Structure 1
Amino acid sequence: MRLVCVFLLAALLPSTLSHNNRQDPFAWLYGPRSQGYYLGSLQADNTGGDCPPECDCPPTFPVAMYCDGRGLKVMPTIPSRMKYLYLQNNAITAVPDSSLVNATNLVWLMMHYNQLTSDKIGEKAFLKMQGLERLYLQHNNLTRIPRNLPRSLRDLRVSHNSIEKVTPADLEGMDNLTILYLHDNAVTDMGTSLKGLKSLMLLDVSGNKLKKVPQALPERLHQLYLEFNSIDSLPDDFLGRVTQLQYIRMAHNELTDKGIPPNTFNVTGLVELDLSYNKLERIPPVSTTLQHLYLQANQIKEFTLGSFCSIVDVTNFSRLQTLRLDGNEISSQDVPTDSALCLRLASTIEV
């Protein structure tokens, strides 16, 4: 076990904890492509047929239409054969009810980085899209989640907007939704809007104005991101129903010892817990199965080995690999000499 002393209060978070560095298999959809980057643009079918002149419809991929980064201000005409529509990086302000009437076969609709406003998205715009699975609307000017979204959605991204509230009606009937990105909005309350999301596995509501954890977290939830809010306490049943939860990130909140019920995080299944940049004075008890614990930049005054191991023997010890305690009110001298027995798998302890 290697002991590293770090005394800088402003120690950086691990790179894996930042939004920009989270692994996203569809990250290539976000940025503008350089000229000639993809084969479709070199073999575009713009001279005839039903492809609008402002877009590319490659004959090698006849169900995709590329209209991204074209300076568009209005929705183009969409042929009914299309399944994948790329409209990101434009200046589109509205989605009228009639704009998607022929797009009943769409599976992906990419409209991030536009200028959409909620009052200019028709309430019936998405009604006929019964097979849509992926809808990207991040980096627009939305003040609410669009109404009547398809119940077939699996991945909904509305981050980096101006959404203040999420109601049960906004997400009603979305039994197939597995990914919901709501981060970097102005959400103050979510009520019971998550209750019906039976398939949800990833919820990101970081960078909002929440003062409490959203109610009725879905049972299948696997990753929960709540960083950069104003949460000062956790409910007694916080992890009672979400037994599959493995990753909890609550850095940059207002959590205190009093606000965390006893043994809240002493549950099997958790792999990573980030409580850095809060107001904790003690190390909360965690399960021996936890692998990564981030507690830097709190007000912790004591290294309590019992928070990791109540019993230490050949078979009972912590599986913790990473422990960050730098930026607290303890030093390397406060680490008990017998910590190596309990934390025998820890490669690094930073204090």
Structure 2
Amino acid sequence: MLKKLEMQENKIKVIREGDFEGMKNLDSLILAHNQLSSVPANVFRHLTLLSSLELEGNNIAYVDKDAFAGLEENLQYLRLGDNNLHQISSDALRPLHRLRHLDLRSNNISAIPEDAFVGYGDSITFLNLQKNDIKVLPAMAFENLNSLETLNIQNNKLTRIPEEVMEPIMDTLRVVDIM
């Protein structure tokens, strides 16, 4: 039975609902470095055992709010770096309550919604937001990230980081990269 599917460095432009039907035992899916521009609703819904999804290095500008439906119970690693995202899709990410590793580096994200990371409390340990266009971190941005150990926010457009932003995570952080 297929556990890992690697389709990186191809010219895949579109993924659709049903494309991964019948691959219910898949644990890892790598679609990195293709030509995807969006992640549509329900495209991964049959992959309920998937724990790792790599979508970096595409041209993804849009993630549907139901893009990760079906992955709520097991997805731990999500890599969306090196794409063309302008915002964090809180509605798409929020149901992923077992997520441990979230990589959003090298996109065009300019703002972080206050509720972007609500719901990850005890799960997320690694958050990479480097090389975006983030100018301000909202006061409550990292409020509930009780297990966050690594935070990378270097190479953004931040001019200051208010103390109240970092205070909730200071006890758990081991690595902070801000310069």
Counterpart of 1:148 in structure 2 is 19
Alpha-carbon separation, structure 2, partners of 1:139 and 1:263: 38
Pair 1:134 & 2:4 matched: yes
Q: CA deviation at 1:169?
A: 3.0
Alpha-carbon separation, structure 2, partners of 1:201 and 1:239: 14
Pair 1:203 & 2:70 matched: no
Comparing both chains, which one has the higher relative contact order based on Cα–Cα distances under 8 Å and sequence gaps of 6 or more? 2
Post-superposition CA distance 1:280-311 (Å, at most 9, x none): 11124222221111111xxxxxxxxxxxxxxx
Counterpart of 1:347 in structure 2 is none
Counterpart of 1:294 in structure 2 is 177
Pair 1:216 & 2:92 matched: yes
Q: CA deviation at 1:140?
A: 0.7
Query: After TM superposition, which residue ranges in structure 1, 4 or more long, deviate above 4 angstroms?
Result: none
Counterpart of 2:51 in structure 1 is 178
RMSD: 1.5
Alpha-carbon separation, structure 1, partners of 2:56 and 2:130: 14
Alignment of 1:321-336 (within 5 A): none
Q: Any unmatched runs of 5+ in structure 2?
A: none
| Correspondence for 1:246 among 121, 125, 134 | 125
Alpha-carbon separation, structure 2, partners of 1:223 and 1:211: 20
Question: Does structure 2 retain, via aligned residues, the 8 Å contact 1:145–1:158?
Answer: no
Alpha-carbon separation, structure 2, partners of 1:242 and 1:168: 21
Q: Secondary structure at the match of 1:170?
A: coil
**Using a 3 Å threshold, how does the CA distance of structure 1 residues 207 and 249 change in structure 2: closer, same or farther?**
same
Q: TM-score, normalised by structure 1?
A: 0.45
Q: TM-score, normalised by structure 2?
A: 0.86
- State the AA in 2 paired with 1:248: L
Q: CA deviation at 1:171?
A: 1.1
Q: Secondary structure at the match of 2:63?
A: coil
Q: CA deviation at 1:195?
A: 3.4
Number of corresponding residues: 164
Q: Secondary structure at the match of 1:168?
A: coil
Question: Does structure 2 retain, via aligned residues, the 8 Å contact 1:268–1:290?
Answer: no
Q: Percent identity?
A: 26
- State the AA in 2 paired with 1:236: E
- State the AA in 1 paired with 2:127: I
Pair 1:225 & 2:98 matched: no
Post-superposition CA distance 1:54-113 (Å, at most 9, x none): xxxxxxxxxxxxxxxxxxxxxxxxxxxxxxxxxxxxxxxxxxxxxxxxxxxxxxxxxxxx
Alpha-carbon separation, structure 1, partners of 2:176 and 2:24: 37
Q: Secondary structure at the match of 1:216?
A: helix
| Correspondence for 2:141 among 256, 261, 264 | 264
Alpha-carbon separation, structure 2, partners of 1:136 and 1:201: 17
